[in-house]
Amino acid sequence: MSFDNKPAFDYNLAQVPVLTELCRPLFETFGLTAFAHIKITNDGHMLRLATNDAWERVFYEKRFYNEHDMFQHLRDNLKLNESKTIIAMGDPKGAHCNALFDHDIWNTFSIYKRHKHFIEGYAFGTTRNKTEILDLYLNQSKYLKMFAVYFQDKAKDILEPNNVNKMIHLDTSNSAYFSNVNAEKLKQFEALTNTKKIIVTGKKGFTSLTRRETECLESISNGLSTKEIANHLGLSTRTIEYYVNNIKTKTQYKNKSDLISIFKNSMYYESTCS
């Protein structure tokens, strides 16, 4: 059967024995059953190497590499040098995820990182019923990241094909689909959920900080001095000292290292990093 990007499929198929051998410790140790590596270049090409040849045929025939699913959504919104992970479990959504589920490849964990000229990704999966794998993803994901480093080294000879036709030619005309569609809704959401206070954990439990106190605490965590914070916020040093003293009183923490720690453990910090 003929389908788009068949040379890329053939290249992937030829590497399956190598991939399977490289993944042996991964599969035997954790009970995973599927692995895939992708590299998406800025000019719209994708190198894809995956272990399940039967699934790969479906992936290519259905052109799932162009689907605007949750994986592409995550990739599209990566900032330079940023990495993110995504877990796919429960009821599948969309054609791509439903097809994965139907082929008994599910409960997946994917890592993506944006570099200057490309995005790299690593996907790990198992069967539909192996939901206990979530413990690995939440508590031991460092081992999957270690495997990605191992894979980069051991598979380096097949990660740079000598012919661009061995890579998938992507339809990039709608690469910002999710960002464009949801932009207005996201602005509305931010306006509706904007709060003048944030919650941090002090010595005696949760306490709230005002927006100015939050700005000061964030600046402290970024290594700014009192004078630098004053210049950054357009306030006097005395005003900054007032806010910092308020933070110390509310949290009952005095040391800079403790203040940085409570900020970086706050949900506000998590929301700014996601």
Comparing 208 with 38, the larger pLDDT belongs to 38
Q: What are the pLDDT digits (tens) for 80-95?
A: 888 899 999 999 999 9
Q: Are residues 138 and 243 in the same domain?
A: no
pLDDT of 101 > 70? The answer is yes
pLDDT, average across residues 42-62: 94
Phi first, then psi: give them for residue 3, nearest 5 degrees: -155, 165
Question: Domains in the chain: how many in total?
Answer: 2
Whether residue 188 is contained in a domain is answered as no
Position 178 scores a pLDDT of: 41
Q: Are residues 25 and 98 in the same domain?
A: yes
Q: Give the domain-ending residue among 157, 183, 209.
A: 183
**Which CATH number is 50's domain given?**
3.30.450.80
**Domain span holding position 202:** 197-273
Whether residue 140 is contained in a domain is answered as yes
Q: Are residues 178 and 205 in the same domain?
A: no
Specify the pTM. Answer: 0.65
Q: Are residues 174 and 45 in the same domain?
A: yes
Question: For all residues of the chain together, what is the average pLDDT?
Answer: 88
Q: Are residues 146 and 41 in the same domain?
A: yes
Q: Are residues 201 and 82 in the same domain?
A: no
Q: Are residues 139 and 210 in the same domain?
A: no
Q: Are residues 204 and 166 in the same domain?
A: no
Q: What are the pLDDT digits (tens) for 130-180?
A: 999 999 999 999 999 999 999 988 898 898 888 888 999 998 633 443 444
Whether residue 189 is contained in a domain is answered as no
| CB < 8 Å & 24+ apart, contacts of 159-166 | 159/37, 159/39, 159/47, 159/49, 161/11, 161/47, 163/7, 164/45, 165/7, 165/8, 166/7, 166/8, 166/11, 166/47
Whether residue 25 is contained in a domain is answered as yes
Whether residue 190 is contained in a domain is answered as no
Q: What are the pLDDT digits (tens) for 212-234?
A: 999 999 999 888 999 999 999 99
Cα–Cα dist 158/152, whole Å: 10
Q: Give the domain-ending residue among 158, 183, 208.
A: 183
Q: Are residues 110 and 223 in the same domain?
A: no
Q: What percent of the chain has pLDDT over 90?
A: 61
